[in-house]
Each structure stands twice: as C-alpha cells, then as structure tokens.
Amino acid sequence: MATNQDTDLQGLTTTDSSEGVKTQEMLLNLGPQHPSTHGVLRLIMTLEGETITGCTPVIGYLHRGLEKILENRTIMAGIRYMDNSDYLSPMLNETAYVGAVEQLMGMEPPRRAQYIRLLTNELQRIASHLVGIGTYGMDLGASTPILWAFRDREGILSLFEALGGSRFNVNYMRVGGVLHDFPKDWLKECETFLDTLEKNMKEMDALLSGNEIFMSRTQGVGYIDPQQALAYGLTGPMLRASGVNWDLRVNRPYMAYREVPVNTYVRQEGDCYARYYVRLQEITESIRLCRVAIDKMPGGAISTRTPIALRPPRGESYFAVESSKGELGVYLISDGSEYPWRAKLRGPSFINLQIVPELMRGHKMSDAIAILGSTDIVLGEVDR
Amino acid sequence: MFAMIVAETAPWYQWAADLWKGIADWNFLQFVVAFLTIFGFILTSATILVLAERKVIAWMQDREGPLHTGPWGLLQSVADVGKLLLKEDIRVKHADKLMFLLSPAVFMAPVIAAFAVLPFSPYIQLPGGALTTGLVFLVAMSSIDVIGVIMAGWGSNNKYSLIGGLRSAAQMISYELPLVLAFVGVIMLTSVLAGQPGFPGQSGIGSIAPYQIMQFQNSAWHHTGIGILDFIFQGFTPWSWFFLFQPLMLIIYYTCGLAETNRAPFDLPEAESELVAGYMTEYSGMRWAMFFLGEYGNMTIASAVASYLFLGGFAGPGVSWLTAQGPLLWGFVGNILALGYFVFKIYGLCFVFIWIRATLPRLRADQLMQFAWLILMPVTLANILVTGLVYFLTSALPTWVFLTVLAAINWASVFGFIWLVGRVTTSTTRHAQAPAIRAQLRAKPAIPAPALRDGVPARVALPAGSHE
C-alpha cells in the first residue's frame, strides 16, 4: 500500500493512501484558557486521530517582568514580589531571595530564624504538593482529591495568616531573619494540624494511589529516563521520580537543613505515577520535618539587626533552595546600592516544562493532560 | 378497523357516543394519569437529581454544596432552570445549522420515548408498558442517543466537540453489546421459570418485557392465609430477585449503564479537563439544558431498567395485596406505594452513580475500548454459556437446584471478575503504552548522559563541535 505524504504550510501532514483514504493531521489549540493547563499555558498540538504527533508550548501569557521589577525595588521591597513568582509556594520563594541577599552580605540569621524558616518552608511544601496532587486528580477526572487537598491546604493558609497576617502572599521572610515570632499557641495548633493532615493523607492515599483506573492512567505514561532527566536539567520530584537521588536539602544543605537530616524518596519508574507518588511521600516527609523543627525549635532572637536601607556590598551571589517544584535559584548582582543591579530567577517550573513536548509525542490526547499535570508547573514561575 | 365497522353498522351519533364512552373510560383516564406522571417524573427528576448530585458530592467531599437559594439550597435547581430558560440561545456562526439546532432534540426525544415501556406501578403505565418486546425497544431508543451526540459534535464546528462526539459514538456502540448480552442471562432465567406453578407464561418461553420480567421475580409466594404474611409477600419475594442469581450481570449492566449515560468514570465525551465540555461545548441556554435533561433522563432509565431486571421493579410490601382489593381506595394506596418503592429504587441506584462519580478518575479512550471488548464481552458471553450449561446439567432436577447452583457460581465469579479487572486493565494498559515508551527510549537526547558521581551529577558533556 503506497502512501503519499504531503505537508502543508501549518506543518500538518496529509497522508493519502492508494486506497483513496485521505487523512489529515489536526491542529488543536489547548489553552491558554483551558481547564487543565494550570493557568495560562498554551499547547499547540498536532493530532493524528487522538495520537499526539507534535506539541509546542507557548508561554508568556502571565509575564509580569518579575526580574525587572525586582531590579527596580529596594531589596526589602523585593521580597514581597517574590511571592508572586511561584504563587503556590511564596515562603520558599522568599527564602531563596532572602538567602541570596544574606549570602551576598555574608550574614547568617539566628538559629531560631533558621528553624522557623525550615518549619514554614516545609509547611509551604506540603501546601504546594497538596495542590499538585489535588489538581492532578482533577486532571484525570477524579473530583474529590482536589477538594480534600484544598481543605487541608486551608489549614496551612490559616496558620500562615496567624503568623504573618496574610494567607497567601505572606511576605514573612526578612533579610537576616523573619518578620514575627510565633503567636501564642501557634506551635500547638500547628501540631494539631499536622496530626489531622497525617490522617487525611492516609485517606488520600487510599482514595487515589491504589485505584486501578488511576494506576492505568498514569503508570507507564510520560516516561523519563534518568539520563534524559539530567540532560534536561530537571529537578525536584520530577528528577527523583526518575531514579536520581538529588535533593538540595541533602546534597547542598542550607540553613537549618544542615542540622536536620532529610530523607529523600526516590522512585525508579520515571512515569507519571512515580511523580505523583514522590510528591505524596514528600508530604509525609515534610510532616516529619515539621515535627522535628517544632521539637528542636531553639530560643533566642528571630532576626539579626539589619540596616533599614540595605546596601549589600558589590558582588554577585547565587542561592538555591529545594522548592516544591525543584531547584529554585536566585542570582543577584549588586552594585553596592539599595537596588539589585540584576536579579535572575532559576524557576524550576520553567525548566521542567521543557521536557513536556518530548514526553507527549506518541501518547493519546488524554495522556497530554496526565503528563502536563504530573509536571506540576506553576505558570507564575514559568512566565515570571 | 374497529371504528370503521362501527361506522358502517351504526348511525354517526352512535359512533360519537361510543367515542365519548371510550374517552371517559377507565383506560383513557389511565393513559392520562400515566402520561402525566411519567412525563412529569422525567422532567422533575432531572432537576432533583442535579440538586441531589451536588448535595451528595458535596457531602462526600467535605463541603456544603449549594446553600443560598431557598432553605438549605433546595431551590438551586429551580433557579438554574430559570436562568437557562432566560439565557440567550447562542448559535455558532460557522456551524452546520440544521445539525446544530436539531441535535438536542434528537438527544432528548428517545429518552422520553424509552419511558413508554417502563411501568411505574400496576396502574400508572402507558399502554406500551405491555409491549412484549420492551427491552428491544429500550435498547433501540438508547442507541438513537448516539446520533444526537454525533450531530452535536459535527455541527458545532469545534474541534473539542468533534473529538467528544466521536469518542461518544465509539463508546456508546461498544458498550451497547455487553449491555444487551447482560440482559440475556436474565431472559434465560425467565424462560426457565416460565410455566412453573405460580409463574406466568408458557413453559420454556421467557419474556423480554420489563413488566413480565418483574412478575417473574415476584411470583414465588403462594397464598398461605396468614394475613400479615400475605399482605407483605404477595407479589413481593425478594429472595427470588434476579440479582441473587445473576449478580455479575447486574454489575456489568450497571457498568455499561455508566458508559451509556456518559457518566464518570466513562465521561470521556464531555471530559471537562480535556475537552472543555465535549460535544456540549458550543451550546448554551435551553439547548444545553436539553442535553443535560437527556443525560439525567438516561441515568434514570438505566436505574429503572436495573431495578426491573434485577431488583424486582416496583414490587414492595403491600402493593399486590392492596391493588387486589379494588381499584378505588386501597388500589390507590397500593399504587402510590408502588410508585414510592420504584422511585426509591431508582434514586438508590442513582446514588451509586453519584458515589462512583465522586470516587473514580476517568479512563482513557483506548482503555475504555479494551474494557468493553476484552473484558466485558467475553465475561457476558461466558455467563450465557455457564447459565445454559448449568441448566443443561440440572435439567432433570428441580428448579431450585438450578437456581442455587447458578447463584453460587455467579457470586463466586463476582470476585473472580474483580480480580480479573485488576489484572487485565493493568497489563493491557502496559501493553498499549509500550510503543510510546519504546519510541521515547529510541529518541534519546543528543547530549550524552552525564555520569553520576556519588549522587552528584557531573557536568554534562556537550557534543563535539558545540562551543562551550
């Protein structure tokens, strides 16, 4: 059966078999307004039937010029803008930014502040992973996990509200420490919450992890080689789900992580299920870390004295934290003024997104959603 | 023909008087009552089910659901319907106009038609309720739905709609087969029971009318003369309901019902996370509401048929006894009771629909097909074979031996089926996904893999020729 292929201007292939059957690839525009592109990602996909033959992500719909904004704000004012980068984990973003400034100034926050940072970072990681898992369930058509996840996340947001005055854009970290000490009974509330969360996570595990449909939708879908993962620069749960044991909290420990050992969870499968499961296990690990931080919480000051007009010395610094999505790095160049001369973010979502077109080729259209959901990207960080 | 004979032999006023007599007759009144009940039930049950779904899912998901319209949000559906009626009917400019405008009606009409063969109580039933080929009619009507969906998918001139419509076509046609095959086991049971003492029908000739299948399930009680027992069990014998002998077929029928009605986990045609709203994407206002009505009507039909074939229909304590007392007072109470039992069973099964929706994720298109063709079809065929074989082996023995053996085998195979589904879905999925994985393994990145040095990735070696 001789076939005759032809490619038109849009890059769509028309196949004309000798039997008179003419098939044409279909161009499908997924997004930017689509329920499961996690914001405003746009995917231009070429489909042959329901099989994906090509995929091009188009980004930039949420571009706010974040790096430029940071360069035009004083360093203290910049902390607040970091909240909007990866809007699901503001605490982690702030820690990265503040850490870069501290590294530039060669200062070390007090131990208590470091432990507070660890505690809030781990809570934030839980919140972010909860959204990741919940929306992943939603992408695959299960409506319950997302609502359970958001119910639990609500507890974390309430704790943040009690701590920093704001639920979402907390603006809690400061150069040299944190903004406030804990309110009365905050730690007790936090422990109660962690107990509830642990129970709820078992429920979530029972609902989703062992589900036949969930497993058959995710296992073997979107396979990433460990070598491929390293070559694409993936970090975070996406890398650990491909069998590479790399976690900045362990391999390049910073702040209180130098004293608190972290267990990493690695899976060898490299598929969507592995990515989901690594996130689920990291929540368990984060709960443990929170408890450790509460137990070991040292006394003392929560912040060093820093000048109101912060003028870091001339120089450059790169500071990376293990964010919920991967390695979140902040690169600062200071010219000795109150403003960073250059601020550059290494957003893990942006880098994790690059492998998506590679993964989608050959899969069905429904799998595109499963693969995209498993990368757990946040468009605020991709577009910046 | 009857009217013609009358007209020939009698003067016109005689004919008119006969006509009037016919209209005022009990049968015509029955038709009016039944029509109004059934039609009203279809239309109101959709709104009730929407509200019930939202409330039940909210309860399962730890939230409140609609709260603000009316007491405890009870009027939410009323408000929704009002909104939909007042909404602008948007038509897509480049749509296929005829298809686009006609498809909601094509989707909705068979749903209403299907109720013609579903009696609600001994009295509330359309004349079609006695249709001896009721099941065939039901299946035929549910097949017409597909055409409405395809028309909507094609006529909308939208890619999401098109994919949704085509998915729906493949899905509904595939699941029709195991659905019908699941009926066959029940029909075989009726033909075994037919002609036995107390059971209706001729020996060896079963029935495919829902009403008669219901009677087969509720005829095992013989008049004892003890008042209270007769009152309860006259025409209500739950120990001979067919789900006890064919539980696996109930499960399979119900699964296929889920697929036929496009409900989770088979809601691929309107998967909101993939296809926005599938074939309904371009519809708004009352046209959209007609799809919705049709869908919830389908859900009701699937539940109703399940209750007829497996769960004894509208039979319940007191129905037969009361309706036998006379048409007026006690008969009325009996009919209301029957209606209550029937609606209770329907909504009980609809609750399971909702429960499943809150629990399960969605299947993928190829997995859906695999499930229908590789699992459901062989299992239903095997069930027919096993039922026939058991009857063949026990034909010399009394009927209760056959029924006991069949029940034992079927209940055992329920667990076998669950095990099988677990195994087969996973392995066939892996099999189907293998090509994609292989393709990815072949398409290794051009950059060679970096070596790992005690957990620390080495610098990625760039290919020769590329500048650092």
pLDDT above 90 coverage of chain B, percent: 0
Mean of the per-residue pLDDT values of chain B: 78
Whichever domain contains A364, its CATH number is: 1.10.645.10
CB A322 within 8 A of CB A89: no
State pLDDT tens for residues B382-407: 988 988 888 888 877 777 787 888 88
Q: Give the residue from A225, A228, A237, A223 showing the smallest Cα distance to A325.
A: A237
ipTM beyond cut 0.85: no
Number of separate domains in chain A: 2
Query: Does residue A34 sit in the same domain as residue A183?
Result: no
Residue of A nearest to B271 (CA): A141
Written as six digits, the tokens of B299 are 């859900």
Task: Determine, for residues A216 and B429 on separate chains, whether the beta-carbon distance falls below 8 Å.
Answer: yes
The pTM assigned to this predicted structure is 0.81
Q: Does A219 touch chain B (CB under 8 A)?
A: yes
Domain check: are A74 and A32 in the same one? no
Nearest residue of chain A to residue B458 (CA atoms): A230
Token pair belonging to B127:
């004349």
R_g of chain B computed on alpha carbons: 27
Element (H, E) at B456: strand B456-457
Higher pLDDT, A14 or A243: A243
Q: What is the rounded CA–CA span in Å between residue B75 and residue B51? A: 9
Are A238 and A115 members of one domain? yes
Res A121: pLDDT? 92
Q: Do B445 and A228 touch (CB under 8 A)?
A: yes
Instruction: Report pLDDT for B446.
Output: 42
Residue A280 belongs to what domain range? 66-383
Alpha carbon distance A74, A65 (integer Å): 16
How close A59 comes to chain B (CA, Å)? Answer: 19
List chain B residues with CB under 8 Å of A207: 359
Q: What does the pLDDT read at residue A130?
A: 92
Sign of CA dihedral A266, A272, A275, A278: negative
pLDDT confidence of residue A120: 92
Edge-to-edge strand ranges of the sheet holding A327-334? A315-322, A327-334, A340-346
Range ranked top by mean pLDDT from A120-129, A137-146, B214-223, B236-245 = A120-129
Q: What is the CA radius of gyration of chain A?
A: 22
A113 and A156 co-located in one domain: yes
At B453, the amino acid letter reads R
Q: Which of A40, A58, A76 is the last residue of a domain?
A: A58
- Tell me the pLDDT tens digit for each residue of B303-351: 888 988 888 888 878 777 777 776 667 777 888 888 888 888 899 999 9
Statement to judge: residues A80 and A188 lie in one domain: yes
In the predicted model, what is the mean pLDDT of residues A61-85?
A: 88
Per-domain residue ranges of chain B: 27-430
Confirm if A335 and A341 have CB atoms less than 8 A apart. yes
- Give the residue on A whose Cα is nearest the Cα of B355: A144
- Greater model confidence, B22 or B373: B373
User: Which pLDDT score, from 0 to 100, does residue A287 have?
Assistant: 92
Confidence at B463, pLDDT banded by 50, 70, 90: very low
Residue from the list A151, A212, A366 with its beta carbon closest to the beta carbon of B364:
A366
User: Sign of the C-alpha dihedral, residues A333, A334, A340, A342?
Assistant: negative
Residue B8 has pLDDT above 70, yes or no: no
pLDDT of residue B370: 80
Tokens of A234: 């993936």
State the average pLDDT over residues A113-124.
91
Chain A closest-CA separation from residue B447 CA (Å): 7
pLDDT higher than threshold 50 for residue B448: no
Same structural domain for residues A24 and A83? no
* B126/B166: higher pLDDT: B166
Give which of B256, B247, B380 is closest to B309, Cα–Cα: B247
Name the maximum alpha-carbon separation found in chain B.
Answer: 109
Provide mean pLDDT across the span B92-119.
84
B451 compared with A115, residue with greater pLDDT:
A115
pLDDT of residue A286: 92
Identify the pLDDT of residue B461. 41
- CA terminus-to-terminus distance, chain A: 51
- What is the pLDDT, as a whole number, of residue B26? 62
Residues A254 and A360 in one domain: yes
A113 with A189, same domain: the answer is yes
Query: What residues contact residue A264 under an 8 Å CB cut-off, 6+ apart?
Result: A240, A245, A247, A249, A250, A285
Same domain, A42 and A80: no
Looking at the fold, whether A208 and A113 belong to one and the same domain comes out as: yes
